[in-house]
Structure 1
Amino acid sequence: MPETTWWKRGIVYQIYPRSFQDTNGDGIGDLQGISQRLDYLQWLGVDAIWISPIFPSPMADFGYDVSDYCGIDPIFGTLDDFDRVLEQAHSRNLKVILDFVPNHTSDQHPWFLESRSSRTNPKRDWYIWRDPAPGGGVPNNWISNFGGPAWEWDEATGQYYYHAFLKEQPDLNWRNPEVREAMFDSLRFWLRRGVDGFRVDVIWHLIKDAEFRNNPPNPGYQSHQAEINKYLQVHSADQPEVHDVIAAMRQVLEEYEDRVLIGEIYLPLERLVAYYGKDLSGAHLPFNFQLIQTAWNAHEIEKLVNEYEGVLPDGGWPNWVLGNHDQPRIGARIGKAQARVAAMLLLTLRGTPTMYYGDELGMTKVEIPPESVQDPWEKNEPGLGLGRDPARTPMQWDSSPNAGFTPGEPWLPLAPDFQTCNVEVLSQDSGSVLCLYRRLIDLRRRHLALSIGQYLPVQSGGQVFAYERRHGAERLLIVLNFGHAAQAIDLPDGVGKARVLLSTVRSGDWHVEAGCLDLAPDEGLIVALEEG
């Protein structure tokens, strides 16, 4: 793929549709709301929107339990509404990526209703059914990602079915060729409509161990952790055969021009990069969540970036993610001052960045009263702080009631600071984090060194992480202070002139004398270098 391919040079913006913009007053965002806010996304400067699931669903897991892969849930609107989003986005040069959930369906999907109707039904093998263990009980020790056994007893047919998540989300049997073809036809349904690609949910789960062996105990498990961590997921996910499935999925996208396949994968780097596939036949972008999981200090982040760059396969394009609908917001994890540094990091590293709605406003954790909890994971394992609701609260558009999100009662509470932390207020404050994001995006668009240039590490030390991005004769130095005290670093040898193009905390741009670069606390700088 040439480096000018849109998904290499562009920025992806994730929309959680329930929380983006409501237009009918039911307190839940909808497709007409996304259409209404496309001008904002164009103003911000992103290149693609990824929309979390909008398919028909009983909403046991808010759309990640799909009952029809070729429709739109009435909560969000109609197929006509979706086609309008697609048309209006494309008219603004915005690509549209859909969330595809192939590992499991809803237990209300017609396929599963057939599958559980009898052992002899033609769709019985479309799902994973097993007899009880010798002596009775669940077939093995696999745990649901949301807590409790991953097996649900079906009284009518006398077998268990497997669910990696909720019991309302039975796993499909991707070893069955009929399942593959049915799911690939679902992809084609959306590709024919003009969708530009897919983010594939839990793609590393698609194939399970053929012998259904027990997972080994996790020696590092601690009682405050989620129950899924009791065992190492050796046999229930990340099986070698999954790469053949992903390559076949990629081939479906190759039937259409200029589409992208993104895979959700929570694995260590050395296993993650295998999902690029043999000869890059797998996912174009296996999602790299390491910035979410790594300790926030200069040493660990530098180590991570260099390790990732080192293990990428030849021709594999990197990508970076700071937040999503399953993780605490970046502002909640590292604080508002460092969130500005994180914005510069995300938008200056080599590779495709994915932004999460509201992070550009500096949204943080919103406390959810017990009576307002919606997330099934929090309900299944209360008290462990696993709830995802605090990262899914409504987008804050203005200072009007309910932040301009809905004329009704929002499905989740709003942040208490929405009257000052919103698009309308922050867009008029040149020093705001929103305007910082916009300037970063503009710089990335104007400088090929930032969008498709080389990455070169720079020795720094202390709480400073520095690196260069180069394209042709252009050299840009990025210097990030992860500490809360002022720092100074030497400019690279041979630099005659340097000019600060952007600071995360100071306004304007300025020239720097060759030799030393001063950093304020919690500051990031983008510096243009000239040899001399």
Structure 2
Amino acid sequence: MTHIDSTVASPALELTSTNPAATVIHPASESAREWWRTAVIYQVYPRSFADGNGDGIGDIPGITSRLDHLVELGVDAVWLSPFYRSPQADAGYDVADYRDVDPLFGTLADFEELLAQARSRGLRVIADLVPNHTSDDHEWFKDALAAGPGSPERARYLFREGKGAAGELPPNNWKSIFGGPAWTRVSDRTSPLASDGVTDGEWYLHMFDTRQPDLDWEHPEVRAEFEDVLRFWLDRGVDGFRIDVAHGMVKAPGLPDWDGDTSMVEGATEAHEAAEDGSTGAGNSGPMFDQDGVHDIYRAWHKVLAEYTGDRALVAEAWVEPLSRLARYVRSDEMHQAFNFSYLTTAWDAAALRGVVTASLEASDEVGAPTTWVLSNHDVIRHASRMGLTGAAVRPNGIGTNDPQPDAELGLRRARAASLQMLGLPGSAYVYQGEELGLPEHTDLDDDLRQDPAWWRSGYTEAGRDGCRVPLPWEADKPGYGFGPTGKSWLPQPDSYKACAADVQRSTEGSTFAMYRSALALRKANDLGLGSLAWVDDFAGADSVLAFVNNGVLVLTNFGETPVALPAGAEVLVASGPLTGAGVPQDTTVWLTV
């Protein structure tokens, strides 16, 4: 039982006992020390991280030039979003060649230099893999169009005859995650009239953009191809792969109709206590998701990685609920990590967060895997803005100029508290580039500049993901805030980025960067990633307090209006915001020794 001496500091709340109840729900790990169990992994979105050649688009040499920032921050590994050859119809998630670097980002030699420089600094590198679909520029798809119906080339994709008297209707009623139908019809006529733009042939499935045809993962050539792609990059030294749409590669037999909706980001829209199984509504369901067949793929991939030394890792991007279903992806012979989107989509509420953390740890402990925590990424509104939204729609897909705007001060205060709380949890954690600077979403981006296909495929109703993908500010007084040598940036940066620039934050006491840097150092020094978790319940006003102990560190977040007293004699290790006297104010997290 954790012992904390109590103190009374009116009007703050106080501990009600010198021996507050501590309920252990997750034991410390005594033996398993693979790096991925505890790692803090930093997501780099290449086109927006740093520009090395001055064309306004981030690239691999730019990433290499800024690795020391990540070392100073204290992360353990870097995850790179796609850098492969691509027409960039969906910012690189439409891959035309899985074995080469797109010239937009550099060369294969540049990538190998990045690996070498990262390794020399003690940083591991995870590559993104996009196996659900290819680009329509991929040689396989070009061959499929040329070969025609019934060909072996088309069998690698999900081509089907349409419904209706002349096949003029899609094969089923599925919708694209980006909006609109999930099917596109092609022309299979061989006469000269085939160039007139009329389509009269088969349809192909694309759960995302029209230019991202889904592969048929029942086909042995598809499976063999991707095992070879894994080896290609493992041979060059990558430490693992983040698997895009890991729950979507296998579809239900017969591709049955389904009347549900799909979207990039699902989840509850107002504060509530998560369901007993941790569900928040974050999961994608339907016959195109979370089919049992995906697990055979990952068992085969697990064997491929086991051929290599160095604890290589597979990370699932799987929007799956309940958490017991997500845990199936990280069984001992499958993936090593899975993003916890139930946690990301949980409202800023003490009871809701306690519920999802408990359910997450219980589900992952059942299969002996770490829980992986995340608050932001390239597909969701940055949490410094998301947490500043109020009202019913707190998680829209992007924020436009005419949409309700977040409270910037409230959002940053809550984001800092949420980040410090997350980094105190046992397991692994992900940091999206710029969140260590407290970057907000770009919410007044000119609609004419938007590049996310979700913007036009939704009929211009969803602003999309461009607002969280704006190039980073490195130096406040340079053109483009130092993103590159010319001041160009592929998306304009908001004026608010000047105060967020990395050079400003490094020299500012109490900055968001300083908080992250301190927390990551303390996390490592106290071995929190392998630690236990015990809820501490004996606080007056406990409904508005979330408190847990991990390896002798008390992590306390106050959600209520009344300050919470600091335990007598406790040492403050790091706080997300200023403390008032002996109290922890609302929307503030503090780490204390106990």
TM-score of the pair, normalised by structure 1: 0.90
CA distance in 2, matches of 1:26, 1:234: 42
1:303-314 to 2 correspondences below 5 Å: 303-312=355-364, 313-314=366-367
Corresponding letter in the other structure for 2:124: K
> How far off its partner does 1:297 sit?
1.2
More off after superposition, 54-63 vs 363-372: 363-372
Corresponding letter in the other structure for 2:515: L
1:20-419 to 2 correspondences below 5 Å: 20-117=49-146, 118-135=148-165, 136=167, 137-156=169-188, 158-217=201-260, 233-257=285-309, 258-268=311-321, 269-277=323-331, 280-312=332-364, 313-334=366-387, 335-366=411-442, 367-399=444-476, 400-406=478-484, 407-419=486-498
CA distance in 1, matches of 2:523, 2:378: 25
2:43 to 3, 6, 14: 14
Query: Compared with structure 1, are the counterparts of its residues 408 and 426 closer, same or farther at alpha carbon in structure 2 (3 Å cutoff)?
Result: closer
Contact 1:398 1:418 in 2 (8 A): no
> How far off its partner does 1:302 sit?
0.9
Corresponding letter in the other structure for 1:184: E
CA distance in 2, matches of 1:333, 1:524: 18
User: Secondary structure in 2 aligned to 1:465?
Assistant: strand
Q: Which runs of 4+ in 1 moved over 6 A?
A: none
Contact 2:45 2:433 in 1 (8 A): yes
> How far off its partner does 1:462 sit?
2.5
CA distance in 1, matches of 2:144, 2:449: 35
User: Secondary structure in 2 aligned to 1:479?
Assistant: strand
> How far off its partner does 1:218 sit?
6.2
CA distance in 2, matches of 1:217, 1:409: 42
More off after superposition, 242-251 vs 164-173: 242-251
User: Secondary structure in 2 aligned to 1:70?
Assistant: strand
More off after superposition, 459-468 vs 434-443: 459-468
Contact 1:331 1:339 in 2 (8 A): yes
CA distance in 2, matches of 1:322, 1:140: 35
> How far off its partner does 1:520 sit?
2.2
User: Secondary structure in 2 aligned to 1:125?
Assistant: helix
> How far off its partner does 1:484 sit?
4.8
CA distance in 2, matches of 1:488, 1:156: 73
> How far off its partner does 1:405 sit?
0.2
Contact 1:215 1:236 in 2 (8 A): no
Corresponding letter in the other structure for 2:470: T
User: Secondary structure in 2 aligned to 1:82?
Assistant: helix
The corresponding residue for 2:529 is 451
Is 1:528 paired with 2:593?
yes
Q: Deviations over 1:116-168 (max 9, x none)?
A: 21235432211111111254311111111111111111111621111110110
> How far off its partner does 1:351 sit?
1.0
> How far off its partner does 1:384 sit?
3.3
CA distance in 2, matches of 1:522, 1:237: 36
Query: Compared with structure 1, are the counterparts of its residues 64 and 498 closer, same or farther at alpha carbon in structure 2 (3 Å cutoff)?
Result: same
Contact 1:3 1:9 in 2 (8 A): no
Q: Deviations over 1:171-190 (max 9, x none)?
A: 11110111100111011000
Corresponding letter in the other structure for 1:320: W
Q: Which runs of 5+ in 1 are unaligned?
A: 220-224, 511-516
> How far off its partner does 1:287 sit?
1.1
CA distance in 1, matches of 2:573, 2:178: 46
Contact 1:216 1:232 in 2 (8 A): no
User: Secondary structure in 1 aligned to 2:498?
Assistant: coil
Q: Which runs of 5+ in 2 are unaligned?
A: 1-28, 190-200, 263-267, 269-280, 388-410
Q: Deviations over 1:245-295 (max 9, x none)?
A: 111122111111210100101122232122123xx2121101112232111
Contact 2:555 2:591 in 1 (8 A): yes
User: Secondary structure in 2 aligned to 1:46?
Assistant: coil
